Amino acid sequence: MNNLKYSIIYGTIRPEISERLSLGLIFVEGDKISIRYSEKKLSALQPLLTQSEYEFVGKVIRSLSRNNCINSAETINYLTRYSNNLITVSQLHTIDLEPTKGSQDWLFRNYVYAGEKKTKNKL
C-alpha cells in the first residue's frame, strides 16, 4: 500500500512568535505533485499583513500552484529549510492512507479549509 505524503504551506503572520495560518497542502504521489490552497484563507491574511506583504504571499502561493516550481520531494525538503518570514513549508509527512482524491480532500478539509479548494496537478 502506498502512503499519503503531504506538506503544509503556511502564511506567517508574526514570525517572532511563530504565529501562522495554514494556506494549502502539497501532495506527493510518486513523481506527481499536487498543490491545493484556499483563496479564502489567503484573503484572511490581507488585514493582518501590509499590502506589499499580502501581495507577495498571494503571488508566491499562486505561482507555486501554476508553475512547475515544486517538482520533487527534494524541493519540498529544500523549502522547509528556506524561510522568508512570510511563507513556510512543513517537513514532508507520511500517513497510513491511500493517496486517493478522497483522502486528499479529507486532509485538506481538516488542515486547511472545509469550504473550498484549489487544485493544480503537476507531472
Cell of 67: 508553475
Instruction: Write the DSSP assignment of 51-65 as a string of letters.
Output: HHHHHHHHHHHHHHH
pLDDT digits (tens, 9 = 90+) for 77-105: 888 887 667 899 999 999 998 889 999 99
Element (H, E) at 95: strand 93-95
For 12-40, what is each residue's pLDDT tens digit? Answer: 998 888 899 999 999 998 888 889 999 99
Question: Hey, how many other C-beta atoms are within 10 angstroms of the C-beta on 22?
Answer: 18
Specify the pLDDT at position 93: 94
Give the model's pLDDT for residue 116.
Answer: 57
pLDDT of res. 123 = 41
Domain segments of the chain as ranges: 4-122
pTM (predicted TM-score): 0.86
